[in-house]
Structure 1
Amino acid sequence: MKIAVIGAKGLPPKQGGVEHYCAEVYPRMVKQGHSVDLFARSSYTDCSWQDRYDYQGVQVISLPSLSLRGVDAFVTSALGAIAASATKYDIIHFHALGPSLFTCFPRLVNTAKIVVTCQGLDWQRAKWGSFSTRIIQMGEKAAVRFAHGLIVVSNVLQTYFLQTYGRNTVYIPNAPARYGESDPNFGYGTQLGLEQKRYILFLGRLVPEKRPDLLVDAFSALNPVGWKLVLAGGVSDTKSFTSQLLEKVANNPNIVFAGELRGQRLWEIVRGAGLFVLP
């Protein structure tokens, strides 16, 4: 099959669940004999418009974008949908509700099957203003109306679409990635002042809806002897929230900000954790 992908920032993944999902799934599909074109943002790929490059067999096509929150995704998704509509694909796979606003384009002019994967109700995220929230809600309704298939990653989302729209969905939970080899001596963890199996790990973007602040409050209240709390993750249009979080823990030496981790450092810190918590 020939497959187009719309809604991801690009590859390789830097941060964000959609990008990591794409990095795991589409190279595997290519190995099975399928052809995959992923329409990406030039602001993410650092490539010129319409530049193409290969990522583990996936053709990444860089599209024009604007480095403005929300506008970037809107522009690239629209252009990707138009480009995909003008090409003969078997499947056009949209990720997230915002980009799904443009499912109408290929549905009206193309014979491709439209598939939408919903990883969450993005309009509930605190970072979006009222206008962006309305756009995302319109994307949700477009996904329900125009998609031939709708995939959700949780039973809660499956219930939501059934009760709200009477729409049946396919539940496919995300699986953990397979990690490679990491330092058996726990070198990077030692640099951070950590002891194996004696720290709690939060791994994810530092955004309000993931509630790292709640975890910080709980850890500070319990103050477990001999344990540390590690917050590992990047920032996603939430610099103000992150700054407040940093101020909150500034005087607690047992709370460590590790930043965004990748590769062997990520694998090492995950393997060394005594407890993984996602509020």
Structure 2
Amino acid sequence: MKSLKIAILGTRGIPNHYGGFEHISEYVSAGLVKRGHSVTVYNSHNHPYTANTWNGVNIRHCYDPEYVVGTAGQFIYDLNCLMDARRQKFDVVLLMGYTSSSVWGRLYPASSAIITNMDGLEWKRSKYSKPVQQFLKYAEKLAVKHSQFYISDSRVIKEYLESKYHIHSEYIPYGADVYTEQEREQVSKSDALKEDYFLLMARMEPENNIETILEGFNNSNSRREFVVLGDTGNRFGQFIRHRFKNDERISFRGAIFDNTKVRALQNNSYLYFHGHSVGGTNPSLLEAMASEALIAAHNNPFNKSVLNADAFYFSNAHEVREIVETVQRTGNEQLMVRNNLNKIAFQFNWGKIVDEYESFIVECYERKNSERITAARG
């Protein structure tokens, strides 16, 4: 197999200090390097990692004015990355999302195979105003127009793209690694009080149903602690902290990027709440499954396509309260945990995901190259 020169754009950079696309870019980039490819990931100049390589992956640091000018800075950052990528002559450019890059679609490197991971219906996110939602629909159309190949990380997204735009997209979800004995041994017993608390881990955004979950718990008669992981520094996070400040059972721990600690918290929770309602296959959900957490998830097609019958589901605060007050850790619940672990082992393991990315990237390169040769002969 030919060694390809591959670029990954559209993230704040690796190693992950932000979210899902950064998370998958870590694994895919390092995995592709191990398979013999040359991989470059574009990082914001504000990223805390300042070296030029990471686990064999080349890092290109581009100016990112987001922290100076706000959201508009994302568009400038993506433009800077694209202009640099045009000079590097990559075989393949993989764009993680389209929100602030598709407006520059006419500047995508013409000689590269352009693959876009189409993200999770960004225009549905309730945090955005109506004008922003309309722009995101437009950006989605531009991504479809200017990309040559597409990836969906959820079967729901794949079906949407086929129905809306009549395009084929390759279904490749996120991955996770099974929680190992070595990871268990790294956590002290005081940090791993088995089944003593409920757990929620999410960005502080309305569509993650954080208020619904905490309201249901707040109204319950539970004596357990409720641990919340996520940066509460934004406006919505501050609102959530203020609203539930009088419930001493609720503990806001901030964002934690130490994967060993996060997985220990997931593994040892009595019940893990997953409130995400928009987007594709969510990495924190897969890691909770891999960490053998019992899961209660928001009732929507994205979550159900991953969990199937192996979770409790809620749509409102009343249903959250009912789950909190009635959930058990008996035979049926343990079967749910085992079934989800098997899904990770056979459907969502990182080795399989990286193999699928490599296979699709090579296929896209060969198709692009074939078209170039045909055009030259014509």
Give the TM-score category using the shorter length: 0.7 to 0.9
Deviations 1:54-74 (A, max 9, x none): 111111111111113322221
**1:271 maps to 2:270:** no
Deviations 1:57-114 (A, max 9, x none): 11111111111332222111111112212222111000112123333322xx522111
Partner of 1:113: 113
* Contact 1:100–1:116 under 8 Å retained in 2: no
Q: Match for 2:246: what amino acid?
A: N
The worse-fitting range, judged by mean Cα deviation, of 124-133 and 212-221 is 124-133
Q: Quote the Cα distance in structure 1 between the aligned partners of 2:164 and 2:271.
A: 36
Q: Match for 1:174: what amino acid?
A: Y
Q: Match for 1:255: what amino acid?
A: I
- The partner residue of 2:203 within 192, 202, 205 is 205
Partner of 1:147: 147
Partner of 1:233: 230
Q: Match for 2:53: what amino acid?
A: D
Q: Quote the Cα distance in structure 2 between the aligned partners of 1:82 and 1:184.
A: 45
**How many residues align structurally?**
265
Unpaired segments ≥5 residues, structure 1: 190-194
Normalised to the residue count of structure 2, the TM-score between the two structures is: 0.65
- The partner residue of 2:40 within 30, 37, 40 is 37
**1:53 maps to 2:52:** yes
- Shift of residue 135, structure 1, vs aligned partner: 4.2
**SS of aligned partner of 1:223:** coil
* Contact 2:13–2:41 under 8 Å retained in 1: yes
- Shift of residue 46, structure 1, vs aligned partner: 6.9
**SS of aligned partner of 1:44:** coil
* Contact 1:97–1:137 under 8 Å retained in 2: no
Q: Quote the Cα distance in structure 1 between the aligned partners of 2:89 and 2:133.
A: 32
Partner of 2:165: 165
Query: Relative to total residues, which structure has the larger helix share, 1 or 2?
Result: 2
**SS of aligned partner of 1:143:** helix
Q: Quote the Cα distance in structure 2 between the aligned partners of 1:78 and 1:149.
A: 20
* Contact 1:13–1:20 under 8 Å retained in 2: yes
Q: Match for 2:207: what amino acid?
A: E
- Shift of residue 245, structure 1, vs aligned partner: 0.4
**SS of aligned partner of 2:93:** strand
Q: Quote the Cα distance in structure 1 between the aligned partners of 2:44 and 2:257.
A: 21
- Shift of residue 177, structure 1, vs aligned partner: 4.1
Percent sequence identity is 22
- The partner residue of 1:257 within 239, 252, 259 is 252
Q: Which of the pair has more CA radius of gyration?
A: 2
Q: Quote the Cα distance in structure 1 between the aligned partners of 2:155 and 2:241.
A: 34
**SS of aligned partner of 1:267:** helix
Q: Match for 1:71: what amino acid?
A: A
**SS of aligned partner of 2:145:** helix
Deviations 1:12-39 (A, max 9, x none): 1112111111112110111111111111
Q: Match for 1:74: what amino acid?
A: F
* Contact 2:96–2:118 under 8 Å retained in 1: yes
* Contact 2:29–2:41 under 8 Å retained in 1: no
Unpaired segments ≥5 residues, structure 2: 276-378
1:37-116 equivalences in 2 (<5 Å): 37-45=40-48, 53-66=52-65, 67=67, 68-98=69-99, 99-106=101-108, 110-116=110-116
Deviations 1:151-182 (A, max 9, x none): 11112211221222122211112122455624
- Shift of residue 244, structure 1, vs aligned partner: 0.9
**SS of aligned partner of 1:116:** strand
The alignment yields a C-alpha RMSD, in angstroms, of: 2.1
- The partner residue of 2:243 within 245, 248, 259 is 248
Partner of 1:218: 216
Deviations 1:206-237 (A, max 9, x none): 1111111111011122333x4222111225xx
